[in-house]
Amino acid sequence: MDFTFTEEQQAAVEAARAVFSDVAPDRAPSPALTPGAVAEDIDRQLWNELARTDLLGLTLSPDHGGAGLDPIALCLVLRESAKVLARVPLLESCAVATAVQRYGGSTLAAELLPRAGRGELILTVGANGRSGHDPAELAVTARPYGENEENGTSAEDSGWVLDGVQSAVPWAQAADWIAIPAHTAGGRPVLALLPRTRDGVTLADQVSTSGERLAEVRLDGARVEAHELIDAPGCWEWLRSLLTTGTCALALGLGERVLAMTAEYTGKREQFGFPVATFQAVAVQAADRYIDLRAMEATLWQAAWRISSDAGGPLPTAADVAVAKIWASDGVRRVVQTAQHLHGGFGADTDYPLHRFHAWAKQIELSLGPAAAHEEALGDLLAAHPLG
């Protein structure tokens, strides 16, 4: 495998850095000082700038007005976005659009993708299920609409009906369409896309650890037209893997920014006439966190490469995603905890941005889940696919 990025991928990174260079992490009120959500809406100014620079259509084909790049390029841009705590649904909207392009029909793609790439339409996805502990597709049922058995019509003719709950859906109040994983009576996973305002869809406010608005999305007989439901095998599993890998990219970018802040602070802060960065105990802790970040980076690109290339291997792609989650979940926590420790009391000052990064890191850690659970999943995959 070759971890050298292409010229097109590097150009996307440069474009992203130019856009994010004007974004300050404290653009929204502090989550530590704000009861409830820090803002009612996403950062529309940033969203429009991402659209203007064609970064929202990064993974879409030129047929849909996109750049035709792969999920690796998306992860590179997400890495940059996390360094400024960008308050936009870049991961969710781009991931859903990419899944629609890859697995959806031409009617749905034509309806959603060009507008999504131009930033005129925001997509999000419910990936947490009812509680965040069970597979998301089990939280919602999809059944054929109407009395199909009696009148002879099929679901492909008349559509589907969704019932259930998806909790902690990110940016749902700002989204135009929501992707909902569900299961049929036979247990088959499917992915439905429907407008946020459709009858039978109700949103209840929730708030993330980072102070951003989430939503509990309740589906009570919400109808989905036949072309709005994707039942291609592997669709939801692929989208879930992309969402997870993108979250690992966010963890990496955030961790890199926090370690850079720590290096700058300890290089200036003096004790006994010397910068504290020169003390062995400080240097060793910073070095350990640097190693964490490099491990997070290597496992991230391995997973992103498997998703982008569909390359085979001794283990399924899910194994590489699990390894990336193990490192990202534990690694981002260790980085911000060490940063808080090395900053001393200054790290808890709400006028300084470090506490914001700590809150976002905790939200990312909660989104990824505990490393022990991923280690168990990896063990199951190794047992099912013994290495020769």
pLDDT tens-digit map of 14-46: 999 999 999 999 999 999 999 999 999 999 999
305: Cα separation from own chain's centroid: 16
Q: Which portions of the chain are predicted below pLDDT 50?
A: 147-153
Q: Are 58 and 12 in contact (CB under 8 A)?
A: yes
Best CA proximity match to 207, nearest among 171, 244, 254: 171
Q: How many CB atoms lie within 10 A of CB 224?
A: 23
- In terms of CATH architecture, what is 7-120? Orthogonal Bundle (1.10)
Q: Are 285 and 341 in contact (CB under 8 A)?
A: yes
Domain ranges of the chain: 7-120, 124-230, 235-384
Task: For residue 132, give the H/E element and its range.
Answer: none
- Rounded distance between C-alpha atoms, residue 71 and residue 15, angstroms: 16
Q: Are 31 and 210 in contact (CB under 8 A)?
A: yes
State the amino acid at position 157 in one-letter form.
D
Q: Are strands 177-183 and 123-125 parallel, antiparallel or unpaired?
A: parallel
Q: How many CB atoms lie within 10 A of CB 203?
A: 18
- In terms of CATH architecture, what is 124-230? Beta Barrel (2.40)
Q: What is the pLDDT of residue 147?
A: 46
- Rounded distance between C-alpha atoms, residue 95 and residue 325, angstroms: 17
Q: What is the pLDDT of residue 3?
A: 67
Best CA proximity match to 239, nearest among 363, 360, 104: 104
Inter-axis angle of helices 90-103 and 106-117, to 10 degrees? 150
Q: How many CB atoms lie within 10 A of CB 148?
A: 15
Q: What is the pLDDT of residue 156?
A: 54
- Rounded distance between C-alpha atoms, residue 305 and residue 120, angstroms: 29
Q: Are strands 160-170 and 201-207 parallel, antiparallel or unpaired?
A: unpaired
- Range 235-384 has CATH code 3.30.750.80: no
Q: Are 256 and 297 in contact (CB under 8 A)?
A: no
3-state secondary structure of 382: helix
Which residues have CB under 8 Å from 68's CB, separation 6+?
Answer: 59, 60, 61, 62
Q: Are 223 and 198 in contact (CB under 8 A)?
A: yes
